[in-house]
């Protein structure tokens, strides 16, 4: 039986189990990979260090494939014959370093002892690759339990796919991904991972791969490279959920837009609202360069934000397919909300089309504002969803943008927009109003509009604008004394 030796290559997959993809909110259309150094391999019964000054070391129970014979451009129906053995693995990772690695996982997954393997090997020829099970325990509590039947990509597919890019050599290790349940571990925790084939003859098993977490004493040196850094997103993904990370279980409630306030904002022109914002020191609340697809339309709603980043092939592969951020935004938009999209002012590609517009319309969205283009422009207009954009463009998603995240602060048309801001748009353009100021600004804008109408009546009657616009004390007294005031 092949023994575990120092592998020439360790190749790991980012997302492979349906349960994990659902947890992460994205479903890749194809597998994507990263390498781990051979120096990360460890045996059962050892320890792994959580480096000093870090908090988010996480375990990932996985099935490891150990190659038995070289594989280069092998068809999928022959791929499994090149695998010698199956065993348990723990694909440990330090989320504190993940952001700076940008998907390569060099530092976040490459630490010494970050790839424990074993303890026993299962003969690959004796098991069905679609009927393997992986389980993981932390301090005796079962945390992960899934089977290869629920993989997004089969084990033979992974072997065949990798073999079309480079030669898989004897002893190489393929880490085949982790199911839902991965979470943070702390010094003193004991993690056990087991892989077995419960339905095969003799129910072969890897035995339990045991690793104990210890506290490191030597911090990273800031003079040498980027330092560990965490935010709530990293905490949520490392722990597996907001609740497990001790974060609020839902995003903070957005300020309600009452029917009365909505009516006021519909009455107040954006020009008047923007004047009132300027009087309060807010000079950068304009979303520039966008126009309405429905002439004469006006939108009022609470901002729900969607951010696109510039197109890059590897990022589109990981974030563009499946249930991506764009689809999540349009599926989750609430009645009365306006989806505001950051597209970096690039009108040379579409940021939504008729299907997504129909979804937003069905859910009661107040409209969409994007500083990019709109695909199926005429069809979107026929649906009746108000959209302010930089115009029509026929391209599909992926030409210039990758849908990245929702419900974050974005930049749209030169304006900062936060989830919960109030969006008002009409023929003069679109403005962003902080929710806390919306009532005050609306009342002042309506009062100013009433005043402006009266001034216009005086000008129409032949009075000169000097002293009238703006009103001096004499005209102000006449305005205050007007009939019905």
Domains of the chain plus CATH, in order, are 10-239 (3.90.850.10), 259-439 (3.50.30.40)
Residue 339 has φ and ψ, to the nearest 5°, of: -80, 120
Distance CA 216, CA 370 (A): 48
Residue 357 tokens, joined: 């517009």
Per-residue pLDDT tens digits for 60-114:
999 999 999 999 999 999 999 999 999 999 999 999 988 777 678 999 999 999 9
User: Is the pLDDT assigned to residue 212 strictly greater than 50?
Assistant: yes
Q: So what's the pLDDT on residue 29?
A: 86
For residue 363, give Cα distances in angstroms to 101, 193, 298. Answer: 38, 44, 18
User: Please, what is the Cα angle at 112 between 111 and 116, to 5 degrees?
Assistant: 105
Which pTM value belongs to this model?
0.57
For the chain, the average pLDDT equals 90
Point out which residues pair with 402 in neighbouring strands.
309
Query: Which H or E run contains 443?
Result: helix 438-460
Token pair of 379 as six digits = 């069809």
Range of 197-211, 228-242, 429-443 with top mean pLDDT = 197-211
Confidence band, pLDDT 50/70/90 cuts, at residue 484:
low
CA distance 4 to 2: 7
The DSSP code sequence of 100-152 is HHTT--TTTS-STT-EEB-S--EEGGGS-TTS-EEEEEETTEEEEEEEGGGBS
> What are the CA-CA distances from residue 130 to residues 22, 85, 200 (Å)?
20, 15, 11
pLDDT band at 2 (very low <50, low <70, confident <90, very high): very low
Highest mean pLDDT among 130-134, 221-225, 326-330 belongs to 130-134
Average pLDDT, stretch 448-466? 86
* Contact status, residue 245 vs residue 235, Cβ threshold 8 Å: yes
What's the mean pLDDT in 377-391?
A: 93
Residue the block writes with tokens 């023929």 = 427
Residue 407: phi and psi, rounded to 5, are 55, 45
Ranking 26-35, 179-188, 227-236, 262-271 by mean pLDDT, the lowest is 227-236
CA distance 59 to 139: 12
Separation of alpha carbons 438 and 257, rounded Å: 9
| pLDDT value at 411 more than 90 | yes
Stretch 220-229: mean pLDDT, rounded? 84
Q: What one-character DSSP code corresponds to residue 3?
A: P
Helix (H) or strand (E) holding 265: helix 259-267
Q: How far apart are the first and last CA of the chain?
A: 97
């Amino acid at each position: 039986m092949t023994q575990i030796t120092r592998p020439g290559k360790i190749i790991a997959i980012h997302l492979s189990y349906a349960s994990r993809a659902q947890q992460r909110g994205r479903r890749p259309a194809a597998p994507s990979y990263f390498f781990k150094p051979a120096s990360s391999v460890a045996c059962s019964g050892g320890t792994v260090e959580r480096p000093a000054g870090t908090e988010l070391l996480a375990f990932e129970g996985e099935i490891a494939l150990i190659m038995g014979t070289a594989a280069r451009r092998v068809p999928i129906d022959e791929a499994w014959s090149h695998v010698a053995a199956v065993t348990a693995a723990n694909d440990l990772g330090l989320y504190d370093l993940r952001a700076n690695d940008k998907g390569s996982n060099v530092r976040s997954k490459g630490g010494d002892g970050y790839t424990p393997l074993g303890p026993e090997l299962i003969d690959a020829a004796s098991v069905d690759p679609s009927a393997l099970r992986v389980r993981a325990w932390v301090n005796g509590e079962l945390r992960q339990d899934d089977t290869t039947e629920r993989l997004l990509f089969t084990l033979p597919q992974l072997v065949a796919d990798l073999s079309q890019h480079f030669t898989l050599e004897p002893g190489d290790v393929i880490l085949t991904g982790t199911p839902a349940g991965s979470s943070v571990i702390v010094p003193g925790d004991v993690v056990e991972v087991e892989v077995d084939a419960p339905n095969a003859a003799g129910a072969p098993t890897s035995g339990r791969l045991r690793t104990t977490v210890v506290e490191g004493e030597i911090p990273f040196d800031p003079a040498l490279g980027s330092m560990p850094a965490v935010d709530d997103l990293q905490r949520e993904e490392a722990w597996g959920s907001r609740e497990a990370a001790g974060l609020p279980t839902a995003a903070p409630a957005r300020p309600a837009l009452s029917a009365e306030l909505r009516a006021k904002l519909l009455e107040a022109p954006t020009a008047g609202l923007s004047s009132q914002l300027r009087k309060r020191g807010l000079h950068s609340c304009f979303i520039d360069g966008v126009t309405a697809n429905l002439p004469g339309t006006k939108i009022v709603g609470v901002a729900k934000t969607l951010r696109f980043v510039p197109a890059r092939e590897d990022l589109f592969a990981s974030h563009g397919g499946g249930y991506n951020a764009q689809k999540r935004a349009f599926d989750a938009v609430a009645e009365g909300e306006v989806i505001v999209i950051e597209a970096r002012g690039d009108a040379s590609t579409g940021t939504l089309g008729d299907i997504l517009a129909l979804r937003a319309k069905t859910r009661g969205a107040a409209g969409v504002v994007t500083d990019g283009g709109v695909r199926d422009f005429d069809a979107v207009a026929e649906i009746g969803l108000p959209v302010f954009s930089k115009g029509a463009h026929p391209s599909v998603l992926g030409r210039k943008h990758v849908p990245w995240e929702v419900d974050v602060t974005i930049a749209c048309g030169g304006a900062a927009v936060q989830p919960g801001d109030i969006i008002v748009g009409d023929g003069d353009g679109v403005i962003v109003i902080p929710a806390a100021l919306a009532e005050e600004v609306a009342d002042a804008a309506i009062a100013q509009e009433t005043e402006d109408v009266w001034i216009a009546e005086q000008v129409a009657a032949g009075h000169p604008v000097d002293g009238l616009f703006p009103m001096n004390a004499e005209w102000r007294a006449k305005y205050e004394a007007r009939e019905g005031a």
